[in-house]
Structure 1
Amino acid sequence: MPAIRRTNLGRRTRNAASQRYIRTSQIDEQREERNEVERNRRNRSQQHRNVAFNPYRAAFNYNVTIDYSSQQIVDIGSMNIVCPHCKAFKFKNGAPGICCASGQIKLTPLIPPPEPLHSLVSGNGRDSIHFLNTIQQYNNCFQMTSFGATKVVRDNLCLLSRLNQAKLRSEEYIHLRDAINAYGNAQNVGRTTILSATYVGSPRHMHEYAQDAMSYVRHYGSPDLFITFTCNPQWTEIRQELFPGQSPIDRHDITARVFKRKLKSLMDFIVKHRIFGATRCWMYSVEWQKRGLPHAHILIWLVEKIRPNEIDDVISAEIPDNLEDPLLHEVVTKNMIHGPCGILNPISPCMVGGKCSKRFPRQLVAETITGNDGYPLYRRRSTEDNGRSTMVKVNRLDIEVDNRWLVPFSPLLCKTFKAHINVEFCHSVKSIKYICKYVNKGSDMAVFGVAAENSSDEITQFQTGRYVSSNEAMWRIFSFAIHERHPTVIHLAVHLENGQEYILPRRTYYNELTGRHLQH
């Protein structure tokens, strides 16, 4: 018969004695500090119990008394997980190999900079602040001695495409036949160098994604929501990881990692927790556009379509009440007010030809109107019709703005993620075609030059006009996905009549084309 397990009867007594000893050994200040910490802990626990909510279709039932940002399902936490191999800090449930591939990669420790550079970089005195604020100008003084190793990995992929296609030309059979029948110049037939759609971010790759979006439209109808999610450099998760004297612009690695976690949390909030209802399909694309900080364009298809009378429940274009919902009012006034521009600020970046390129200020309307061919005219009440206004600073001047300057937003999403989140309702054919191309338009490019008649080099055009910001470079170094979609779209190898691609060897001559290769 097994021996009876005895209970540790003295454990509670020993714990009580230990607590009494700690209390008697503490001074009044320590005891008060300890009690304050305990009270804060209990208040947080009580708050979490009080704000428990059902996320299903929560966007239609926004509650001003709930602090959605404290919910566990959206909180990404801090980078407090230490890698046992390289001692790097990571998020909870983060990718195990993001730092050193679980100890497989070992880098030589960085050598500390010499003095006085070390004190200027890591200090917080007046000289350090001046040095960090003007460090770009100092770098420009010595840029002729710097080695530009930009886009090394991605350019190698471009080189691979170029080497594999140096001996080939391709053209559709019908265009090849027309060129031969018209006694055209065979040297001008075919595209000399092609940048394949397998290269992420190339024009062909973005065109395929735009067609994939239209395939969703053909199968599931128009998307319901068009969401633009922009990184907020003032997020606590970013600020708490900075060294003294640093700003978010100095740590693109942190901003990229935090935005990636926030984006995943947002997509889980929408798709898994179904705050807008069940989701049928979705897709998003991350962009930078020379601004440094990333933003994501998201398309959402819902199983249950949003009715016109439900638009005001999900999307708002009005300033919240500061007394009724002070937290949302703070987020909206800091992140969702456009400009102001126009007469109030003629030098605003959005001004093109003396007009706002974003079409602000918008029209004031008492009720939401969905009959026009485009985005709805959201309800924007005037101050005489119970609308609100607020004060913003423009060029050190206090200017009063009303609902005409509000970017449409979801109260639930803005209050949850404390960032610029533009939410638009899609309903017209014009807006559907526009946003499907807009989401997959790719990075900004600009190039000018005179090209020869037969100089169609897609790789050179892409490399010459491409712009890669520091944050995008960090995003690609971390191998974060730039495009995501669900469900997967499978491409079939089909073509129209006489539209098959014909491969031309580089040294194929005109008589060979007319004689042997076009016998069929």
Structure 2
Amino acid sequence: MTKLCLHCRALKFQKEAPGMCCSNGKISLLPLTEPPEPLLTYVAGVTRESKQFLQHIRKYNSCFQMTSFGATNIVRYNNFMPTFKVQGQVYHQIGTLLPVSKEDPQFLQIYFMDNVEKEIDRRCAFTQLFGPRFQIRIGECKSDDFKLIIRADKTPSNEHERRFNASIAPEVAAVIVGTEITRRDIVISRRNQTKQRIAETHRSYDTLQYPILFPRGEDGYHLELYQTHPVTSAATTKKVSCMDFYAYRIMIRVEQSNHILNCRHVFQQFIVDMYAKVESERLNYIRYNQSKLRVEDYIHLRDAIANDGTIGNIGQTVILPASYTGSPRHMQEYAQDSLTYVRRYGRPDLFITFTCNPSWCEFKYLLLRGQQPSDRHDLTARVFKQKLIRKRGLPHAHILIWLVEKIVPTQIDDIITAELPNAEEDPELFEIVKKKSHGPCGGHNPQSPCMKDGKCTKKYPRQLLQETQTGGDGYPLYRRRKPDDGGYTTTIKINNVDFEVDNRWIVPYSPILSKSFNAHINVESCNSVKSIKYICKYVNKGSEMGIFGIANPNAPVNEIEQFHSNGTLY
């Protein structure tokens, strides 16, 4: 990163947009305060204790968090993928101050139980949210008919700011029940079986869930944040968006530490959680501004009403327009564009899958001590976008290429190969291909992610062939020579066991592209594929989705709800 923002001093790559960090000086947030000791040392990853802490940091965060994290589905894999991944809607819930009878205290309740006094004292001293006397008073109350209110707008307007400072003395305060409560306020009862869902725009939304990241209780995104004038620094009437707020928060800045970037698995969860909040804000805008979209003009909607719609549902359908990036309509337009190219220029020549390489030198210089690329998805997206500037910053990209001069079968071996290169003639290419060979899977590694019902879904190991074969409905069968016929082999370790890799395990690639980008780039000749419509749809299929739930078949269509409930974030 060699580019420095003149407004907020954020470090950026040369090709990154000038306003991605602070909207060209319009966003100005207070810097995060360094966490107290020993937490600051623990997140640094230097000592043996801190390495152990970072390895289990999500569990430690769970011990102190006051709200429970939930999603429609939390995707878990068996060890091979450390990425935090969820499907559907993300939400936070908070329970009561005390647990119901015969239930153990959890989350916020632990802070108010006097039977674990030592643990409570340590946690209260750590977070400085509530004093021990307040906990005792909660336990002494005879009635459950009172509530604790955490205000969404912590400092009310038209009030003196010094009236709402945090207490510095161990004093006890009363909670006034008759105070007016807004929809976004958090109201916590003393004891019952209900759970309250926290509003995403509540300023304490982040702190209650991530005490390791915000041990001093810093405010998260809320609706009372306003942009500033880049020159005068005066507040304007335009509000800060959710995306701008968190883009500002996760930037690397000169002479300013940002400890949340050290927090590995908790940082992963935080990024997924906050992006879900950003997406929710965008979808809500579309949901409540359907009239501006003129949804009654959508041709498919008018056809549905004319054919099988009911009068009672007219006007209730919620449309997710093609202008929303990643929406079904948006991806459908891309697929239609691809088919337009097919009609004009014929079948595409090359189908390329470009995968991010965690060994790129950018990661080596930007990762913090002890970190892996899987710990910093913010860097992964930004670095990959520099390599493939026109894509959306995803870990991999699918690309269709039409060539002016079509590839004939005799030229395939000159462009695409599925063999190990000669390690002595081209050691650089040999190392790239060796690291990106498929598997091994099957009986050698039954736990490989490509395995399903005891078989490899990618059809490896492939058949060894002396010559490339074309003419079928599909990709060519590329030349894969035996070691006795001029092929090469190499040895890799799988589960601490040596395994010999030959050309049966090599994924087709282009030597020029692999060396140019130092990455695993799968290249296929697709001119012989008859199902070209499938390829165009596959390239533009969008993000992963999961469909589950119970629905009324006669209910009006809500495209935003369908997209929000089934999408995958990671």
**Residue 90 in 1 paired to residue 9 in 2?**
no
2:364 is equivalent to residue 364 of structure 1: no
Cα contact 1:350–1:357 (8 A) shared by 2: yes
Correspondence 1:146 to 2:206: no
Instruction: For residues 50-75 of structure 1, give each alpha carbon's deviation from its aligned partner in whole angstroms, at most 9, with x where no partner exists.
Output: xxxxxxxxxxxxxxxxxxxxxxxxxx
Name which of 11, 22, 47 aligns with 1:125.
Answer: 47
> What percentage of aligned pairs have identical amino acids?
55
Instruction: Say if 2:385 and 2:392, in contact at 8 Å, map to a contact too.
Output: no
**Alpha-carbon distance between aligned partners in 2 of 1:316 and 1:118, rounded to the nearest angstrom:** 50
Does structure 1 residue 467 correspond to structure 2 residue 530?
A: no
Return closer, same or farther for 1:464/1:236 CA change in 2, 3 Å cut-off.
same
Whole-Å Cα distance in 2 between the matches of residues 172 and 105 of structure 1?
40
1:334 aligns with 2:435: yes
One-letter amino acid of the counterpart of residue 426, structure 1 = C
For residues 135-180 of structure 1, give each alpha carbon's deviation from its aligned partner in whole angstroms, at most 9, with x where no partner exists. Answer: 122233335241764433322222233223489767555554444x
Name the structure 1 match of 2:489: 389
Residue 535 (structure 2) aligns with: 435
Shift of 1:86: 2.3
Cα root mean square deviation, aligned: 2.4
- The aligned amino acid for 1:253 is D
SS at match of 1:312: helix
The yes-or-no answer on 1:105 pairing with 2:27 is yes
Q: 1:115 to 1:386 in 2, by over 3 A?
A: same
> Tell me, what secondary structure is at the counterpart of 1:438?
helix
2:476 is aligned to 376
- TM-superposed deviation, 1:105: 3.0
Structure 2 counterpart of 1:257, from 370, 382, 392: 382
Partner residue in 2 for 1:223:
348
Q: Which residue of 2 aligns with 1:32?
A: none
Local SS of the residue matching 1:229: strand
Partner letter of residue 357 of structure 1? T
Q: Residue 258 of structure 1 aligns to which amino acid in structure 2?
A: V
Once residues 541 and 511 of structure 2 are traced to their aligned partners in structure 1, the CA distance between those partners, rounded to angstroms, is: 28
Structure 2: 5+ residue runs without aligned partners? 69-207, 211-272
Q: SS of the counterpart of 2:524?
A: strand
Aligned to 1:353: 453
- Inter-partner Cα distance in structure 1 for 2:537 and 2:392: 11
Change in 2 beyond 3 A, CA 1:431/1:320: farther
1:474-489 alignment runs, 5 A limit:
none
Q: Is the 8 A contact 2:381 2:393 kept in 1?
A: no
Letter in 1 for 2:472: N
Deviation at 1:191, TM superposition (A): 7.1
Name stretches of at least 5 consecutive residues in structure 1 with no aligned partner.
Answer: 1-78, 268-283, 288-293, 470-520
State the Cα distance separating 1:261 from its structure 2 match.
Answer: 0.7
SS of 2:366's partner is coil
Which entry has the higher C-alpha Rg, 1 or 2?
1
Match of 2:405 among 304, 324, 336: 304
Cα distance in 2 for residues equivalent to 1:323 and 1:168: 63
1:316 is displaced (CA, Å) by 0.8
TM-score by length of 2: 0.60
Structure 2 contact 324–330 (Cα < 8 Å) conserved? yes
Note if contact 2:384-2:393 (Cα within 8 Å) is conserved in structure 1.
no
The structural deviation recorded for 1:248 is: 1.9
Give the match's secondary structure for 1:430.
coil
Q: How far did residue 189 of structure 1 move?
A: 6.7
2: CA distance between counterparts of 1:307 and 1:342?
34
The structure-2 alpha-carbon separation of the partners of 1:378 and 1:421, relative to structure 1 and needing over 3 Å to count, comes to same
Cα offset, 1:387, TM superposition = 1.1
User: Cα distance, 1:430 vs. partner?
Assistant: 2.8
Matched residue of 1:239: which SS? Answer: helix
Question: In the aligned structure 2, how far is the partner of 1:343 from the partner of 1:377?
Answer: 24
Kept in 2, the 8 Å contact 1:285–1:298? The answer is no
- For 1:218 and 1:150, how far apart are their aligned partners in 2? 38
Contact persistence 2:382–2:393 (CA under 8 A) = no
Alpha carbons 2:350, 2:402 under 8 Å: kept: yes
CA separation of 1:84/1:392 partners in 2, compared to 1, >3 Å: closer, same or farther? Answer: same
Match of 1:239 in 2: 364
Q: Deviations over 1:234-257 (max 9, x none)?
A: 211111112223222232222221
Aligned-pair CA distance for 1:441: 0.5
Q: Does 1:458 align with 2:559?
A: yes
- Counterpart CA distance in 1 for 2:479 and 2:527 is 16
Residues 285 and 297 in structure 1, CA contact (< 8 A), matched pair in contact too: no
The structure-2 alpha-carbon separation of the partners of 1:190 and 1:394, relative to structure 1 and needing over 3 Å to count, comes to farther
1:286 CA drift (Å): 5.7
> 2:59 maps to what in 1?
137
Structure 2: how far apart are the matches of 1:436 and 1:223? Answer: 10
Task: Please give the alpha-carbon distance, in whole angstroms, between the structure 2 residues aligned to 1:85 and 1:165.
Answer: 37
Distance 1:175 1:94 in 2: 43
Assess, with a 3 A threshold, how the Cα gap between structure 1 residues 328 and 178 changes in structure 2: closer, same or farther: closer
Higher relative contact order (CA 8 A, sep 6+): 1
